[in-house]
Chain A
Amino acid sequence: MLNFIIRRLLIAIPTILIIILLSFLLMHSAPGGPFSAERSLPAEVLANIEHKYGMDKPVIEQMARYLWGILTEFDFGPSFKYKNQSVNDLIASGFPVTLTYGIWSFIFASLIGVTLGVIAALKHNTWLDYLATGGAIIGSVLPNFVMAPLLVLLFSVYLNWLPGGGWEGGKIQFVILPVIALATSYLAGIARITRSSMLEVLNSNFIRTAKAKGLPNHYIILHHALKPAMLPVLTSLGLSFVGMITGSVIIDQYFSTGGIGQHFVNAALNRDYSVIMGVTILVGSLTILFNLLVEVLYAWIDPRIRY
């Protein structure tokens, strides 16, 4: 097991390097640059700015300097757009926010999603199943960007119960709406996967055997059915978790939470090279890490899986 983990971590290094290389080259091949604006800068002013950021050097050298900064000082460079902020500052300010609403959304989505899925599978083809499945479908066809304005309209403008946006250091009343908006879209998917996986397990031979042995229903579900049914759910939960804690552009923009989600879009539009690199590396590393974690959990859930 330990061997496996070490092997996977070693493979992660070239993977991340490839991510860095690809995003660096893609970014630099996009037309325009961080300093192009409607009001074009005089050539000598542009030259001064490019020199300040080391952009007058060849791309290979820029890339090497960038990597060296990360390796030696864990410095992801200055933001090209936000002049007195470094990428580390931007991530340090935004990531805790995203982490907070991401973790809450994950708990909310996975608890309710799994419960709904299990109920739907157990009460297969009854009104409970239709209700849960129907609810899940509504959740998945109502995307964040529709859900968010509806929530604000209801809870902020009409009822005046909750603030329509902002964060204020993560006070509970500011967290609720972003969590509901983010969780609902994931919740539906989790419920559907749980339902179909649970149905498959409930129809398998070993469950029939358990029933034949006369075991009580709840015992069969908790001890025999739930664990194997969770395997595909776990894969999807792992990826959902990374998706949620690295934030959502819609949530950040709509609720003005200040999370890092919006950097994905804004930094790309601004050609803020270092910020794009920073957030891409962050998401890449977290994806690799959580995929590994999911695989380790597999072995724990299913004794047949050994690495």
Chain B
Amino acid sequence: MKTFPTLFAVFIFSSVLACSAALATAKIHPVTGEALAEDQTFIYRELDEFPSFDPQLIESVSEAAVVRDLFEGLFNQTPEGTLTPAMALRWETNDTKNVYTFYLRQNAKWSNGDPVTAHDFVYAWQRLVDPKLASPYSSYMELMSVKNASDIIKGNKPPSTLGVKAIDDFTFQAELSDSLPYFPTMLTHASTMPVPTKVVEKLGDQWTKPGNMVGNGAYVLTQHVINERLVRVRNPFYWNNENTIIDKVITLIINDDNQAFQRYQANEVDKTDVPTGQYKRQKKQRPDETFSNPRLCSYYYAYNMSKAPYNDIRVRKALSYTIDRDIITKNILAAGQIPAYTFTPGSTANFQVPDVDSAKMDQKQRIAKAKELMAEAGYGPDNPLKPTILYNTSEGHKKIAIAISQMWKQSLGVLATLENQEWKTYVNNRQQGNFEIARASWCGDYNEASTFLDVLRSDSDQNHSHYANSTIDRLLSEAKTMSDPNPNYSRIEEIIAEEAAIAPIYHYTNVIMLKPYVKGWPHQNVENRWYSKNIYITAH
């Protein structure tokens, strides 16, 4: 009988040992104290292969997410969307707000150990506008009003004349052609990130290949299999490496939403998009994993105002009023989208959504008003309006177009024809003005209302509606230099609503599935600026 207590004691002792060993190795989050998973690998799904990882050549949101891991600009965004110092520790501007000086972090290094200097920023910004690189985002530097940017893009001046300079190795200065109070908020955009001058010069267009690529971000690119996966691991030279938790980030390219969702269910990916029409069900079944987060994107119908009768405010307004946004967002899309009565989403920083008439009325009142306007414009049962709705081939756009055409038919007797076209054909026809009413969408480049409202400037490249209003043009020019431009933006939205310049339909949401053990995701960031370095995986 003596052996039993002995065995028991041995058992207790060894269990205690094992537990303490486990405690010693288990990782704990330094701030929240949560137990962390041993394997800090984050796997997420992207729809399409990345066209590029070159900060100055990328165009899409998905590329920007990768570039934000591999490079770091002057500022990063907090989850709430405000600026937080990244390469720039502090900055100052002059009274007229047309010269900005940034004091750089001196301990920042490239992933090959070289220091990150102001010269790298000068090189990157000049590169963005250089006609030789031919960046599709070169005009972003024009939006930023950097001196001489337009002339350089047109080939009238050499890139070296761009209004940027390195005062010393760690002081970077930008000179603008106009004063621009919101200039710093534009600097979290990937196209303004620095690139390693020596590496780019030496390797040319091969510099973004894994093994060649040198960055200053929290991660380095280690593997890229086209159309399959992208792997990035921690950059030991990153200035804040000791506070980074995720060790490895894997992007899987999965073209099909449902397939991606199946792989999420099989625990092969930690984050994916909710397939169309599945949001409600998933929110019920997996409430902790299903999210619908506001985005800086608007869905609207554009009128071609160079064609009659779409140059008639009454017709435009009647058509816009008759669209029941609640039916579209609640019954058709049903994934938390927000009904839109203005072009700029209400989630845009500092933007005050004006009380436009259409938002105040209920649908019955809107339809009554629309009937009046339509009759005034000379359309009725004997003389119905017969517009064509152009949209690019997609189940979602089709459903919305069918619903809207039915709303128009029932309330106004309008007989719309639906025309769907393959993406590039649609884009081409819209840009060349071969449409009457077209489905359109716009996403903000930066968190400020002008990124939307500029589209309706009479001389904008994006204004395919041929809409022109000199008051809007003036208010937009004024806004550029105002310390608080938001009253102007609200006024512009009022004019847009009065003249029914567009028919806003809804504001997009990001509808995602995220495993419950992935923490630190910035759900409230309307620009969806997430950084792998800020997330972590808890023990599960």
Which of A's residues lie within 8 Å of B, judged by CB? 30-33, 35-45, 48-49, 51-52, 81-85, 89-90, 93-94, 148-149, 152-153, 156-157, 160, 163-168, 252-259, 262, 266, 269-271
Asked if residues B431 and A36 are in contact (CB atoms below 8 Å), the reply is: yes
User: Does residue B41 face the partner (Cβ distance < 8 Å to A)?
Assistant: no
Asked if residues B153 and A48 are in contact (CB atoms below 8 Å), the reply is: yes
Query: A82 and B226 in contact (CB under 8 A), knowing A52-B134, A163-B268, A256-B255?
Result: yes
How far is it, in angstroms, between the C-alpha of A262 and the C-alpha of B47 when the chains are bound?
Answer: 13
Q: Mark B416-432, 1 if CB is under 8 A from A, else 0.
A: 00000011110111010
Asked if residues B265 and A157 are in contact (CB atoms below 8 Å), the reply is: yes
Q: A218 to nearest B CB, angstroms? A: 46
User: Does residue B259 face the partner (Cβ distance < 8 Å to A)?
Assistant: yes
Which of B131, B205, B259 contacts A164 (CB under 8 A)?
Answer: B259
B449-472 contacts to A, CB under 8 A, are: 461-462, 464
Asked if residues A38 and B427 are in contact (CB atoms below 8 Å), the reply is: yes
Known: A40-B431, A93-B226. 14 other contacts (CB 8 A): A36-B428, A38-B427, A40-B461, A42-B153, A48-B138, A51-B131, A82-B50, A83-B205, A93-B225, A163-B268, A164-B259, A256-B227, A258-B227, A266-B48
Query: A32 and B265 in contact (CB under 8 A), knowing A44-B153, A45-B134?
Result: no
Query: A269 and B423 in contact (CB under 8 A), knowing A164-B259, A164-B268, A258-B225?
Result: yes
Q: Mark B42-70, 1 if CB is under 8 A from A, else 0.
A: 00000011111110010100000000000
Asked if residues A269 and B424 are in contact (CB atoms below 8 Å), the reply is: yes
Query: A256 and B52 in contact (CB under 8 A), knowing A32-B424, A156-B266?
Result: no
Inter-chain contact count A-B, CB under 8 Å? 153
Give B265's nearest chain A residue, CB to CB. A157
User: Does residue B252 face the partner (Cβ distance < 8 Å to A)?
Assistant: yes
User: Does residue B262 face the partner (Cβ distance < 8 Å to A)?
Assistant: yes
| B263 proximity list for chain A (CB < 8 A) | 152, 156, 163-165
How far is it, in angstroms, between the C-alpha of A19 and the C-alpha of B57 when the chains are bound?
Answer: 33
24 A-B interface contacts by CB (under 8 A)? A37-B59, A37-B136, A40-B461, A40-B462, A41-B461, A42-B153, A42-B461, A45-B153, A49-B134, A82-B50, A83-B54, A83-B57, A84-B52, A84-B205, A84-B208, A89-B226, A94-B226, A163-B266, A163-B268, A167-B228, A258-B225, A269-B423, A270-B424, A271-B424
How far is it, in angstroms, between the C-alpha of A89 and the C-alpha of B227 when the chains are bound?
Answer: 12
| A52 proximity list for chain B (CB < 8 A) | 132, 134
Give B57's nearest chain A residue, CB to CB. A83
Which of A30, A42, A84 contacts B139 (CB under 8 A)?
Answer: A42
How far is it, in angstroms, between the C-alpha of A36 and the C-alpha of B253 when the chains are bound?
Answer: 23
Q: B459 to nearest A CB, angstroms? A: 11
Q: Mark B243-277, 1 if CB is under 8 A from A, else 0.
A: 00000000011111011001101101000000000
Q: Mark B393-429, 1 if CB is under 8 A from A, else 0.
A: 0000000000000000000000000000011110111
The 4 closest A-B pairs by CB, nearest first: A32-B424, A258-B228, A32-B428, A83-B52
User: Does residue B523 face the partner (Cβ distance < 8 Å to A)?
Assistant: no
User: Does residue B209 face the partner (Cβ distance < 8 Å to A)?
Assistant: yes
Which of A43, A167, A262, A269 contacts B225 (CB under 8 A)?
Answer: A167
| B252 proximity list for chain A (CB < 8 A) | 165-166, 256
Asked if residues A253 and B262 are in contact (CB atoms below 8 Å), the reply is: no
Give A84's nearest chain B residue, CB to CB. B208
User: Does residue B206 face the partner (Cβ distance < 8 Å to A)?
Assistant: yes
Asked if residues A40 and B464 are in contact (CB atoms below 8 Å), the reply is: yes
| A270 proximity list for chain B (CB < 8 A) | 424
User: Does residue B441 face the partner (Cβ distance < 8 Å to A)?
Assistant: yes
Asked if residues B254 and A83 are in contact (CB atoms below 8 Å), the reply is: no
Asked if residues A149 and B268 are in contact (CB atoms below 8 Å), the reply is: no
Asked if residues A256 and B253 are in contact (CB atoms below 8 Å), the reply is: yes
| A49 proximity list for chain B (CB < 8 A) | 134, 136
Give B153's nearest chain A residue, CB to CB. A44
Q: B298 to nearest A CB, angstroms? A: 13
How far is it, in angstroms, between the C-alpha of A82 and the C-alpha of B142 when the chains are bound?
Answer: 25
How far is it, in angstroms, between the C-alpha of A44 and the C-alpha of B152 when the chains are bound?
Answer: 10
Asked if residues A165 and B134 are in contact (CB atoms below 8 Å), the reply is: no
| B52 proximity list for chain A (CB < 8 A) | 82-84
Q: Mark B431-443, 1 if CB is under 8 A from A, else 0.
A: 1000000001100
| A168 proximity list for chain B (CB < 8 A) | 229
Q: A31 to nearest B CB, angstroms? A: 4
How far is it, in angstroms, between the C-alpha of A254 and the C-alpha of B442 when the chains are bound?
Answer: 29
Which of B51, B153, B225 contacts A83 (CB under 8 A)?
Answer: B51
Q: B508 to nearest A CB, angstroms? A: 14
How far is it, in angstroms, between the C-alpha of A84 and the C-alpha of B461 when the chains are bound?
Answer: 27
Asked if residues A31 and B428 are in contact (CB atoms below 8 Å), the reply is: yes
Q: A163 to nearest B CB, angstroms? A: 6
| B253 proximity list for chain A (CB < 8 A) | 256, 258
Q: A65 to nearest B CB, angstroms? A: 18
User: Does residue B154 face the partner (Cβ distance < 8 Å to A)?
Assistant: yes
Asked if residues A43 and B51 are in contact (CB atoms below 8 Å), the reply is: no
Which of A30, A45, A266 contacts B424 (CB under 8 A)?
Answer: A30
